[in-house]
Amino acid sequence: MMKKNVLVWIGSSLLSACITSPTGRSQFVFMPDAQVNQMGLDAFDTLKKEKKISNNSQYNQLASCISKAIVSEQAGSWEVVVFEDKTPNAFALPGNKIGVHTGMLILVDNQDQLAAVIGHEVGHVLAKHSNERASQEMAVSQGMAMIQAIGSPQSALGQTAFGLLGVGAEYGVLMPYSRIQESEADIIGVDLMAKAGFDPRQSIGLWQKMEQASQGQQPIEFLSTHPANATRIQSLEQHMPQAIALYEQAKASGKKPQCN
């Protein structure tokens, strides 16, 4: 009888762990949001201690202005930090944290392309991709020990934890999001930027520019963890009519960001 009750409890726990993503995809998300958010907060605090923060007022104003517009309809306040780092990279973490490298600010041509980057990264957070990855890790390994190791990013478990959050490359550990998660973040991100009044067509230009920047060289970090390819661009092109409709609605409602 007890064995039966245990099996029923396990079954109900697994069923309750199944949620639906913003795009309608079924996900296995087992960990409490509060726990994953705390992991994001701890990881961001570690990055701020170990990486140099930019004092460039123009960079900070640009990143903050675009991020504020992107997350304007999301709950809670978001912290935005520009890191002094020449690599073109950006990330968002659970707990409402956004990091942008100065290298990314130099690479993009306009505010819309940076909005595409930030929208994509926020899309990962809204779709709970970190929770999804951490839940899968907990289901097959020492999940709790990994969570506790977030304060020791140089350790093996700490590196795994940072990798699951999407910032493992900072410590030499590449743990790319899955193709499904990447595609999902693309769609969520392009809709977010369009709703904020940024031109979604620039998202395609961004990925093309990123690929061009890495041609003939070692693939740049952002593309190592966020692979850009013909399939991604094709998917964005297919979704573009819907995104442009959102963009036109945003402009009609007076949303015209002037972040440059």
Active centre residues (catalytic):
121
Measuring CA to CA, which residue among 167, 193, 183 is closest to residue 111? Answer: 193
